[in-house]
Amino acid sequence: MSYFIFNNINSRDFGLLKRSPVINKSQTVANPVTIPDNPVKLYPATLNRDEIQITVTLGLKSRAVLRSVYAWLDGIGTLSFSTEPDKFYIVQKTATSSEYLSARFAEIEITFICQPFAYAVNPTVQAVTASNTEVNNVGTVFSAPEIRFIPTSDNVIVTVNNVDFSVENLSQVGTQSLIGKEVVIDSEAHVTYFVGEDGRKWSVNDHTFNDYPRLHTGLNYVRHNGNVSEMSINVRERWL
């Protein structure tokens, strides 16, 4: 029997999933451009995409669990299905609608409103060297990787498919030096940071230059300029 897991809780704890959903592809957000005396509307290329809606129906074991189900589904989180256990979705919000079946039983329809992609549960993480490292993105859309490194010098350059991204003056970040400390490039959030002694993430975006790295589908080539003791890349594969 199919089931789903939302925020690490299995739907089978509350009831039976009527059927596993077929998930639609997210659509690009594009506004048409009209040209005088041209009857054809043009749609410029864009990376923006609509959220996706995933609707499921859960038959509850008992109406007594309804309030617990409401509490479980209240908020954001991660969602995965037994039919694709290697992928998960990022849920932005949920909507529910309950239906009476009998004095004892009920159904609840749940709509998960998610970010546009499915993500790898176990994404590829591999070391990056000063020579070109082959990095394979098996997803169906470009990804925004996370790159971690420990600098040994002031300036670190990460080159992805011959495009440079640099983090500079690492010995002079505020009143401290990040030489020998881990620095993280989060391409999805467009932030570069380190974790301070207080456990908080501190941005060093003012020390970065050029566009954040992206990995196209298939083989990519990644290297650094040698000013690190170690570097790794999390591909963060994602699918439409």
If you write DSSP's letter for every residue of the chain in order, what string do you get? ---EEETTEEGGGTEEES-PPPPPPPPB----B--TT--S-B------B--EEEEEEEEES-GGGHHHHHHHTSS-EEEEETTEEEEEEEEEEEEEEEEE-SSS-EEEEEEEEEEEEEEESS--EEE--SS-EEEEE-SSS-B--EEEEEESSS-EEEEETTEEEEE--TT-BTTB--TTS-EEEETTTTEEEEE-TTS-EEE-GGGEESPPP-B-SEEEEEEE-S-EEEEEEE---EE-
> Average pLDDT, stretch 79-108?
88
pLDDT of 48 over the 70 cut? yes
- pLDDT (0 to 100) of residue 101: 67
- Tell me the pLDDT band of 139, cut-offs 50, 70 and 90: very high
- pLDDT (0 to 100) of residue 223: 97
- Tell me the pLDDT band of 42, cut-offs 50, 70 and 90: confident
Of 96 and 101, more confident: 96
Beta bridge partners of 191: 186
- Tell me the pLDDT band of 152, cut-offs 50, 70 and 90: very high
Report the range of poorest mean pLDDT among 43-47, 229-233, 236-240. Answer: 43-47
Query: Could you read off the pLDDT of 181-237 as tens digits, one per residue?
Result: 999 999 999 999 999 989 999 999 999 999 999 999 999 999 999 999 999 999 999
Q: What is the mean pLDDT of the chain?
A: 92
Distance in angstroms (rounded) separating the CA atoms of residues 45 and 158: 27
pTM of the model: 0.86
Distance in angstroms (rounded) separating the CA atoms of residues 69 and 195: 36
- pLDDT (0 to 100) of residue 232: 98
pLDDT of 43 over the 80 cut? no
> Average pLDDT, stretch 133-155?
97
Q: What is the pairing mode between strands 218-224 and 156-160?
A: antiparallel
Q: Which two tokens stand for residue 170?
A: 């690492």
- pLDDT (0 to 100) of residue 53: 95
Distance in angstroms (rounded) separating the CA atoms of residues 15 and 178: 51
Query: Could you read off the pLDDT of 64-78 as tens digits, one per residue?
Result: 999 999 999 998 999
Q: Taking every pair of C-alpha atoms in the chain, what is the biggest distance, in angstroms?
A: 70
